[in-house]
């Protein structure tokens, strides 16, 4: 009858996909990446951006239940916008 609760609904970010979740009694690690169905767009002007590189980065999040340490590992994309000349 019962199933294991999942934190997936808490990490339902638009244009991101959850690659994996590792839970223990006091640590939660959530790995997410960009949804490849969407183009990488400039956050300043909204135009399509070229990619310079991708790298994995880690952010700490607020405690989740008994997990005092919550890490979100995400794929950051660095690029350059030819339209407004901004970098991300």
Report the interface residues with Zn ion, using CB under 5 A.
42, 44-45, 81, 83-84
- Which C-beta is closer to Zn ion: that of 53 or that of 60? 53
Smallest gap from residue 52 Cβ to Zn ion (A):
14
Smallest gap from residue 16 Cβ to Zn ion (A):
21
Smallest gap from residue 53 Cβ to Zn ion (A):
18
Residues 6 or more apart in contact with residue 46 via CB below 8 angstroms: none
Percentages helix, strand, coil for the chain (3-state, rounded to 5) are 5, 50, 45
- Which C-beta is closer to Zn ion: that of 10 or that of 45? 45
Which has the closest alpha carbon to 30: 65, 72, 64, 74? 72
């Amino acid at each position: 009858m019962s199933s294991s609760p999942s934190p997936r609904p808490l990490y339902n970010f638009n244009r991101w996909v959850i690659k994996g979740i590792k839970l223990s009694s006091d640590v939660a690690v959530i790995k997410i990446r960009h949804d490849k169905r969407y183009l990488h767009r400039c956050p300043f002007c909204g135009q399509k951006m070229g990619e310079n590189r991708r790298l994995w980065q880690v952010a700490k999040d607020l405690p989740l239940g008994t997990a005092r340490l919550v890490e979100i590992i995400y794929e950051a994309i660095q690029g350059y916008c030819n339209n407004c000349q901004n970098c991300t």
